[in-house]
């Protein structure tokens, strides 16, 4: 998608702690879609069938569009003269705020689908509410992205069902992917201090309010996929606070290579 | 029977000569059908394999804007592959068989994709030169005699001309940038110039299919005609960018109002066609690997669709 640009609009003014929290959160959201889009783009030319290659690239492109809108807004709000590219390419891994889930490697197609389903189910339900929240710029970005996210969720849900209720092999692979990735699910809906500040200020929905719809959708998909819901999984957290798995460093080494090797140039 | 066949063939040629489109259900000579299947599937395979050298730079694109443009471009190529495979299917070819022929090495794809993309400037060169050459090859195909192919090419060409502009723009930004960027552009240009001249195929005297393809209006210009057009179009653009064309024999010929240029290294051309280029093995291996790794996914989708259909009936 094209970035949502509303540069003619005046920037909102918030109390200092809300301003800082909003900046942190915008970067967190942008990092999340950038990192996941990067992972999906690694599939390019290697998908299981041409139509799905196209779908993966399409989702990657949507997420990248959302990333750019968010970084552009963050850069303006910060007012330090940084650009979307500075934010993407010149921050170290410890300053990246994406949840652990999205940096996990692609693995086989089942891993990619489980990762995508867990993310889409959160992303779509979040954006649905975010588009009605009072920060106009963020609401506009959410309004644009929610249409895409609805398609992403449909796509990943259908693949969860196909793989779960497909062949014995696809079911085993899906179950293995669930055992690997489910541990990262709760971080999405566990608010950080910045998210809590925004929730208190009314700029961000309370995540508890997203859970019923998310859980109902998960239950429907798992029933159609004839899969039991994973139970007793010990959850992992940390990415949203900058504590990442080892995978992110390599991803950023690749993502940031050109800007690090040729600093300060125009491309 | 003999005379009837002749009549059919004569009628067919008369339609071609009148610039009518041949449609899937129309009678056509077997050789016409076979030639088209070969050409269209080769074109589809080229789109598919062509995703690899460009896909190689998506994760390393130097800015978010460039990344988005490149991703969209590679996505377009996947789309071109899809409509070209569909066009070939209207002639009775199956996608499974076409892919099997690609994977076994029986079917060819454009040799240009057997060259590596080593720097960001290569992405500029692929768009500017490779897509530029592809457009010259493909624009005449919008008027090719087989209807579904001609219609697919109209769409393909529109998108390709956008691709070429973005490639030129990458080169222009590099050439107007820092000395390292200019050097990157020249280095990539040196590697891509000759291989793109090879994209027009062997010299006319060594191109056995040209005459018949021209007669059937599958092809509308000869290889050498298109190669000359390309050089005449590209040299001024290279000069505009301040790039040195890596050909000591290149000079303007006032009499023919066109450039004279050096001889393509035909040994290299045939080596790469035969599978001995730097990336032939890796490109094909990547496609075979993707297909094999995806087998269980395709089987699962089919199995699920069958289960769905059974449930719908019961």
pLDDT per residue as tens digits for the range A188-199: 999 999 999 999
- Residue B47's closest CA among B117, B141, B112, B139? B112
**Is residue A178 in a domain?**
yes
**Do B71 and A53 make contact, defined as CB atoms within 8 angstroms?**
no
pLDDT classification of B2: cutoffs 50, 70, 90: low
Closest Cα of chain B to A206: distance in Å?
31
**Do A50 and B65 make contact, defined as CB atoms within 8 angstroms?**
no
Residue-level pLDDT at B219 = 82
**Do B290 and A85 make contact, defined as CB atoms within 8 angstroms?**
no
Nearest residue in A to B176, CA atom: A266
Closest Cα of chain A to B271: distance in Å?
25
For B303, which of A167, A265, A267 is closest by C-beta distance? A167
Q: CA B110 to CA A91: how far, in whole Å?
A: 40
Residue-level pLDDT at B210 = 81
Find residue B258's DSSP bridge partners: B253
Q: CA A257 to CA B59: how far, in whole Å?
A: 9
**Do B304 and A161 make contact, defined as CB atoms within 8 angstroms?**
yes
**Does the pLDDT value for residue B108 go beyond 70?**
yes
Nearest residue in A to B180, CA atom: A262
pLDDT classification of A207: cutoffs 50, 70, 90: very high
Q: CA B301 to CA A165: how far, in whole Å?
A: 9
CATH code of the domain in which A216 resides: 1.20.1260.10
- Of B213 and B165, more confident: B165
A109 in B contact zone (CB under 8 Å): yes
User: Could you tell me the residue range of the domain that residue A203 belongs to?
Assistant: 16-229+237-261
**Do A46 and B289 make contact, defined as CB atoms within 8 angstroms?**
yes
pLDDT per residue as tens digits for the range A31-74: 999 999 999 999 999 999 999 999 999 999 999 999 999 999 99
Cβ-based contacts of B63 with chain A (< 8 Å): 85, 89, 259, 267
Token readout for B166 is 């973005």
**Is residue A4 in a domain?**
no
**Is residue A247 in a domain?**
yes
**Is residue A194 in a domain?**
yes
For B290, which of A42, A47, A84 is closest by C-beta distance? A47
pLDDT per residue as tens digits for the range B132-179: 999 999 998 999 999 999 999 999 999 998 999 999 999 999 999 999
The HSE-up count of residue B282 (CA atoms within 13 Å, CB side) is: 12
**Is residue A6 in a domain?**
no
**Does the pLDDT value for residue B6 go beyond 80?**
no
Query: Are the C-beta atoms of residues A149 and A123 closer than 8 Å to each other?
Result: yes
pLDDT per residue as tens digits for the range A79-123: 999 999 999 999 999 999 999 999 999 999 999 999 999 999 999
Q: CA A81 to CA A15: how far, in whole Å?
A: 21
Residue-level pLDDT at A2 = 53
Query: Structurally, how many domains does chain A consist of?
Result: 1
**Does the pLDDT value for residue A3 go beyond 80?**
no
Q: Got the DSSP string for B240-286?
A: HHTPPPS-TT-EEETTTTEEE-PPP-HHHHHHHHTT-STTHHHHHHH
Cβ-based contacts of B67 with chain A (< 8 Å): 41, 64
Count A/B contacts: CB-CB distance under 8 Å. Answer: 133
**Is residue A257 in a domain?**
yes
Q: CA B239 to CA B232: how far, in whole Å?
A: 12
Q: CA B280 to CA A176: how far, in whole Å?
A: 35
Mean pLDDT of chain B: 94
Nearest residue in A to B55, CA atom: A44
Residue-level pLDDT at B209 = 78
**At A242, is the secondary structure helix, strand, or coil?**
coil
* pTM of the complete model: 0.95
Residue-level pLDDT at B314 = 75
Residue-level pLDDT at A9 = 64
Cβ-based contacts of B52 with chain A (< 8 Å): 45
Residue-level pLDDT at B78 = 95
Closest Cα of chain B to A218: distance in Å?
19
ipTM of the complex: 0.95
Token readout for B104 is 């076994």
For B64, which of A85, A166, A266 is closest by C-beta distance? A85
Cβ-based contacts of A50 with chain B (< 8 Å): 48, 78, 81-82, 85
What's the whole-number mean pLDDT along residues A161-166?
98
**Is residue A212 in a domain?**
yes
Q: CA A126 to CA B70: how far, in whole Å?
A: 29
Chain B neighbours among A 110-169 (CB < 8 Å)?
Answer: 161-163, 165-167, 169
- Residue B164's closest CA among B138, B126, B112? B126
**Is residue A199 in a domain?**
yes
For testing the chain A interface, which of B63, B175, B177, B299 should be mutated: the one with the most A CBs within 10 Å? B63
**Do B286 and A46 make contact, defined as CB atoms within 8 angstroms?**
yes
What percent of chain B stands above pLDDT 70?
98
pLDDT classification of A10: cutoffs 50, 70, 90: confident
For testing the chain A interface, which of B50, B56, B67 should be mutated: the one with the most A CBs within 10 Å? B67
Rg of chain A in Å (alpha carbons): 18
Residue-level pLDDT at B29 = 94
For A50, which of B68, B71, B82 is closest by C-beta distance? B82
**Does the pLDDT value for residue A8 go beyond 80?**
no
Residue-level pLDDT at B218 = 81
For testing the chain B interface, which of A105, A112, A267 should be mutated: the one with the most B CBs within 10 Å? A267
pLDDT per residue as tens digits for the range B225-261: 999 999 999 999 999 999 999 999 999 999 999 999 9
Residue-level pLDDT at B7 = 83
Cβ-based contacts of B51 with chain A (< 8 Å): 44-45, 53
Q: CA B95 to CA B118: how far, in whole Å?
A: 32
- Residue A160's closest CA among A231, A224, A232? A224
pLDDT classification of B207: cutoffs 50, 70, 90: confident
Residue-level pLDDT at B214 = 84
Mean pLDDT of chain A: 96
């Amino acid at each position: 998608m094209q970035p949502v640009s509303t540069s003619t609009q005046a920037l909102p003014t918030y109390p200092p702690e809300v301003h800082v929290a909003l900046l942190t959160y915008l970067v967190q959201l942008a990092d999340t879609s950038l990192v996941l889009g990067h992972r999906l783009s690694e599939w390019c030319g290697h998908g299981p069938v041409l139509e799905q290659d196209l779908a993966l690239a399409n989702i990657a492109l949507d997420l990248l569009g959302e990333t750019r809108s968010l970084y552009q807004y963050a850069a303006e709000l910060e007012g330090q003269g940084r650009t979307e590219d500075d934010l993407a390419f010149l921050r170290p891994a410890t300053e990246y705020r994406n949840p652990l889930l999205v940096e996990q490697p692609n693995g086989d197609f089942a891993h990619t689908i489980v990762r995508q389903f867990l993310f889409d189910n959160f992303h779509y339900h979040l954006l649905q509410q975010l588009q009605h929240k009072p920060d106009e710029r963020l609401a506009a970005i959410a309004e644009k992205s929610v249409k895409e996210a609805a398609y992403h969720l449909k796509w990943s849900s259908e693949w969860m069902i196909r793989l779960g209720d497909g062949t014995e092999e696809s079911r085993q692979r899906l179950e293995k992917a669930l055992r690997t990735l489910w541990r990262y699910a709760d971080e999405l809906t566990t608010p950080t201090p910045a998210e809590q500040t925004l929730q208190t200020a009314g700029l961000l929905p309370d995540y508890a309010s997203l859970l019923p719809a998310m859980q109902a959708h998960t239950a429907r998909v798992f029933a159609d996929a004839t899969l039991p819901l994973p139970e007793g999984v010990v959850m992992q957290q940390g990415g949203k606070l900058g504590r990442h798995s080892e995978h992110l460093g390599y991803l950023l080494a690749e993502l940031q290579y050109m800007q690090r090797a040729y600093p300060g140039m125009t491309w | 029977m003999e005379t009837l066949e002749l009549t059919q063939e004569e009628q067919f040629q008369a339609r071609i000569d009148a610039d009518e489109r041949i449609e899937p259900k129309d009678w056509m000579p077997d050789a016409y059908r076979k030639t088209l299947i070969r050409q269209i599937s080769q074109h589809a395979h080229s789109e598919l394999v062509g995703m690899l050298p460009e896909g190689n730079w998506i994760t390393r694109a130097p800015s978010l804007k460039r990344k988005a443009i490149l991703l969209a471009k590679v996505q377009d190529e996947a789309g071109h592959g899809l409509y070209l495979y569909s066009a070939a299917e209207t002639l009775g070819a199956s996608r499974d068989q076409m892919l099997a022929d690609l994977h076994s090495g029986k079917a060819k794809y454009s040799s240009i994709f057997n060259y590596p993309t080593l720097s960001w400037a290569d992405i500029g060169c692929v768009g500017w030169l490779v897509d530029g050459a592809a457009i010259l090859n493909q624009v005449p195909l919008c008027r090719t005699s087989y209807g579904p192919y001609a219609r697919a090419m109209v769409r393909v060409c529109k998108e390709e001309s956008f691709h070429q502009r973005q490639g030129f723009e990458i080169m222009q930004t590099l050439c107007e940038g820092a000395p390292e960027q200019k050097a990157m552009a020249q280095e990539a240009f040196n590697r891509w110039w000759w291989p793109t001249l090879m994209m027009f195929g062997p010299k006319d005297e060594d191109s056995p299919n040209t005459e018949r393809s021209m007669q059937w209006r599958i092809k509308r210009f000869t290889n050498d005609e298109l190669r000359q057009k390309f050089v005449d179009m590209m040299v001024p653009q290279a000069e505009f960018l301040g790039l040195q064309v890596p050909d000591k024999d290149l000079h303007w010929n006032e009499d023919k109002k066109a450039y004279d240029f050096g001889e393509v290294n035909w040994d290299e051309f045939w080596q790469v066609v035969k599978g001995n280029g730097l990336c032939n093995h890796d490109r094909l291996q990547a496609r075979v690997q993707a297909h094999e790794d995806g087998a269980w996914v395709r089987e699962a989708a089919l199995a699920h669709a069958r289960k769905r259909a059974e449930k719908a009936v019961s």
